[in-house]
Amino acid sequence: MRYSFPELIISTLSSQLRDGERVFTGVASPVQMMATFLAKATHAPNLLYFTILGTVDPQPFRLPYSTGSPHLFDRCANAITFPEIFDLANRGRMDVAFLGGVQIDKFGSLNMSVIGNDFSRPKVRLPGGAGGPLMIRSFKRVISWRSRHSQRCLVEQLPFTTSPGWISDLKGQRHGGPDVLVTDLCVFKFSRTTKHFHLESIHPEIDLDTVKSQTGFLFRTPRRQAITREPSENELEILRRYIDPNNIRDDLLGSPKVIQ
């Protein structure tokens, strides 16, 4: 079955979620929201979804562009407040956070703050790390999504660490960081034992050299290269018909390149 690149990304993110997990999406995360809706509608019916507005298991009548849209209140199981999501995580009650970074380094640390050496007068002022610096370790798992995989984004070392990844130079500290990093080229997984990213799969029609040349850090590659699983017919049907009938996904994820 034919599918588009946005459909592949949403399906890939969705497949990272497990049934029964409590999942949080933050600010400006509509792709992650669609992936969460897709997981809940397919393999993870008991997933519990928390948005940044505090709505739990929202079922909006129309899919909003914003994860902060008040339409996420339209129909929902119940609700809670923003700090209470952190509270839950602090008490070990939250599973998955989607956290993004404008830059990501080899330990999975995220930069959402500044580019440049002078924090008080940076070359580029980024939007800020929201709840990331704590969520990256208070949630059991973190999944990152990065469009535009490039050496500028995936770097050896960050100029500024907003949310620390799997660095291990602080004694007595809990660790945190992304377990999964999905980009527009591939899927990386982080090994908590080796403290390295390894390539889990490459998206269809992408080759390994492209991934290597676009990545600013070294990563391990398996002996036999896997291709990212394609969206199933059922996933595509649900995504197209029920979750995103107005095709917001193409607006959000750029050119709707069709993959055979």
Partner 1 sequence: MPDSGKETSLNQVIQQLVPDGSQVYCEGILANRLPMAAVHEIIRARRRGLRLVSAPNGLAIDQLIGAGCVEEVEFYFLGFMTNKGFQAMRRFRSAVEAGRIRAKESMGYAVCMALRAGAYGIPFIPIPDFRGSDLLNVRDDYRIMSSPYNPDEMTVIVPALQPDVLLLHAHTADEHGNVVLDEPWPMFTLTTAQACQRVLVTVEEVVEAGKLGSSRITIPHFLVDAVVKVPFGAAPTALNKRYEVDDNHIAVYQESAKTAEGFAQYLDEYIFGCTDHEAFIDKIGQPREWIRGS
Nearer to partner 1 by Cβ, of 100 and 231: the residue is 100
Minimum distance from residue 260 beta carbon to partner 1 (Å): 28
Rank residues 46 and 260 by Cβ distance to partner 1 and give the closer one.
46
User: Smallest distance from the beta carbon of 167 to partner 1, in angstroms?
Assistant: 6
Using CA atoms, how far residue 241 sits from 62, 158, 234, 238, in Å, is 12, 41, 10, 5
Shorter beta-carbon distance to partner 1: residue 232 or 250: 250
- Residue 71 CB, nearest distance to partner 1 (Å)? 7
42, 234 in Cβ contact below 8 A? yes
State the nearest-atom distance from the C-beta of 44 to partner 1, in Å. 14
Q: With respect to partner 1, which residue has the nearer C-beta, 28 or 210? A: 28
Please give the structure tokens belonging to residue 211.
Answer: 């991934």
Nearest to residue 108, comparing CAs of 211, 50, 182? 182
CA torsion, points 100, 159, 126, 104, in degrees to nearest 10? -10
Which tokens belong to 120? 């008080």
Closer residue to partner 1 (CB): 246 or 260: 246
Quick one: 164 or 231, whose CB is closer to partner 1?
Answer: 164
Minimal distance in Å, beta carbon 234 to partner 1? 23
d(CA 243, CA 64): 10
Distances (CA, A) of 238 to 3, 43, 86, 145: 13, 12, 31, 22
Q: Which two tokens stand for residue 81?
A: 């407040």
Q: For residue 156, with 0-12 CB atoms within 10 Å meaning exposed, 13-18 middle and 19 or more buried, which class applies? A: exposed
Matching residue, tokens 């602080």: 170
Shortest CB 108 distance to partner 1, Å:
11
